[in-house]
Structure 1
Amino acid sequence: MAAATWRYRGDPEADQPAVLVRFSNGRLRRPDAMRFTVYRNRDTAHPRKKHRRILVSETERLSYVGNNFGSGVLKCNSLCRYFVGVLDKDSGQMEVYNAEIFNMQPLLSEDNLIPDDTKEYQNKSYREKMDLCIEAFGTSKQKRALNSRRMNAVGNDILNTAVTKAAANIIDAKGVSALIQDVAQDDVQNISVFLPPCNEDADKPENVYKFEDILSPAEYEALRVPAAAFVNITPEEITKKTEDKSHCSFVLEELKFLPDDEKRRDHKARCLWFLDTLIKFSCLKVIKKKHPMGPECPHIISRKLMKNFTSLTYNDGSVQNLVSASMKAKITAYVIALALHINNFQTDLTILQNDMKLQESRMMDIAKAMRLKVSKAKGLPGLENDQNHKLGTLSLPLPVQKASGKQQKRRKMN
């Protein structure tokens, strides 16, 4: 037999997926003898009603009915997608169709069970009515299963009560402030998963977050061609780029201070081009293009962005790359590390925060997780009149990790 391949076909009929059924009260002895009838809603113009279906089937003993709307519908239909595959063994081709599950329930006549004037019975759920039937007419095995389920329900209630009581005891014993501090520490640890490799035993700041862990030699070499535009940039071009906002503020500011030395100038230009690309990439949501940063971006850099800074997600029948919140935090950490190498291990976090469209608290959490000392930008050239800028400095010895500022403030209030 040839290697199996599959092809997605959608609905077998117009607006009608394949039907999968399951019976709530047992297993059929002769499923091949069953005949099903599907009833569709006449209102085909209504966006919701046009998809409503009622499935009916009859056996010698009982009639069954199921539907895909109302309070009794299976929740899995709204949370999951189902498919049916039909395989041709000779060609190895599988045709895949949309499917929908119907829960078939026996249609019981309530008049035969209890008198009409019993209002209490009329208010019971379907499960409760079935339990009454099992109590009255069920087999010994069904009755044992019913008793076991009821005992489990009682056990769950007792367990929930015990857990609630235990949580209250922990809060009383440890205190709300200590618990908030633990949560804050967990937040820092969660962020730490996405940081560049950190060498806590480094003897120099440049060895804490090594440049080779941010850009490999091959990636650094690939940046030579696109960064050439930065190497030869003129003040007039910088002014025009500032007006057009074609690059982030951090890069435009640093382009004004490129070194005169040819080697150092080329190095800084490559770093700024990659940092600008990282920030632009962080502003994307779902990556739909093969080369999202354009044809001028080297292939090895595009592959690095897709592999290291996106999450895979399944949507609408296909796999997509997503820049999730956690991936944006990772990009932010690498941007900060690269900015530290550019600016002699002290950088303006506020400018980077604005370029990446982050909240200050989020930026501070990431900076503190990277073991930076955060201070105000008072006294720096061009920032004397703005006291709200935050500086991040990487110096040895590395400070001990602490909870975020927001969590500390909440602790003081308590």
Structure 2
Amino acid sequence: MNIFRTTRNAALLTLLPFLTFSQIALRPKPKPGFETRIKTYVDHLEIVDTHEHLMEEADVAKEGPIDFMHLLFHYADDDIKSAGMSKPEFAELLTDKYTVIEKWKRIKPFFEASKNTAYNRTVLLAIDRLYGIKDLNDSTVLPLSQKLRESYNGKWYDYVLKDRAKIKYSIQDVEKSRSANPMFRYVEKFDAFIRIHSKQEVLALGKEYNAPVSDLDSYIAMLAGAFQEAMGRGIIGVKSALAYHRTLKYEDTPKPVADSVFARLMNSPGDKTFAFNDVKPFQDYVMHQIIQLVRKNNIPFQFHTGLQSGDGNIIDNANPSHLANLFLQYRDVKFVLFHGGFPYGGILSTQAKAFRNVYIDMCWSAIISPSYSERYLHEWLETVPANKIMAFGGDYHNVEGTYGHSLIARAIVSKVLSEKVRDAYLTEAEAIDIARRLLRDNAIELFKIR
């Protein structure tokens, strides 16, 4: 036994140098203070926010009373409901049915049960940094609500986004509405043209776009007209969120097959709804038409992949591996895969590495799970060219959430790059260059932001 212990201890001592460092040193060891220098650079860098759903500041009060619930109605609500609060009960708290204190009493048990999640930590971080309020509790909901109401004075967005979050440009996903704020750029979704299950939906689109639809050719002509109208409004990309509703597998359907499906749909009674499998060939065909319009106009295509907000969704629908046939068929289209693919980070590693036209966008992922984002950013920096990763998109309806998210995203980038420098995988200069790419330059180049 003594011989065994001696041998085992000697073996451990032999392995110790290899256990101490997670990487083989490829660069010289950094000069002391590199962590502070990298963090200072990242914290002061003017960045590009690649994905938002922000409403106009003037419209915030129209959505409901401005109180502490304003900070909980997006993303935090997912975890509050997951902790047990019903959707109808939560919805009531967004109205003026109850006083602020009454709202807090109803939501408190569920918030306390879920305040550990990153969604809710983002809220706590934002109220601390913006209002100096350290926690959401019995004694703070009233003063926080008062401060929120006073903040919306017409200058709040610029203060939070420009001065505090240091955002130079923000890419908005807000359908057709546009803000006069020069910070914002826009992408648009054409999912309504794909997510068709009835003749009634086709006719509704025809009415919206003032285009008579009789067959598949006239339907695609209406789509092309809507696309060019959006290009005229200055969109810089196209987004699809259909992973909430169907699989990301879009087969290359022959036109005669799509014609047949569309004819059956249009010859059906107006109130008939077709099952997904019956209309999938038509939906797939339309997606390919949209991608061809994206290619013609030389703009990127953003795909929602991974986690769907809310409940009742099928995660495998959003598996980015389903998109591989599109990457192969449209090698000259740049595809941007959203949300770090959570939880499919390893698949994103292989896709962004293997396809020159596939990019990773970490929008939303930092507040889904900071540790996931750190872990996979380490992996992506080891597997994917640094010009193909974007590290921040707030993905919020409220600017306070965007600000809190920006702090977390910067911290993740700083930490991962500092660890790479500490392990002598990168030099400090290389880390600084990569930080600038991840948080600003890659998005400016990809979306041709001027």
TM range (shorter): under 0.3
Higher RCO (Cα < 8 Å, 6 or more apart): 2
Of Structure 1 and Structure 2, which has the larger fraction of its residues in strand? 1
The TM-score, its normalising length taken from structure 2, stands at 0.21
The TM-score, its normalising length taken from structure 1, stands at 0.22
Larger Rg: 1
Of Structure 1 and Structure 2, which has the larger fraction of its residues in helix? 2
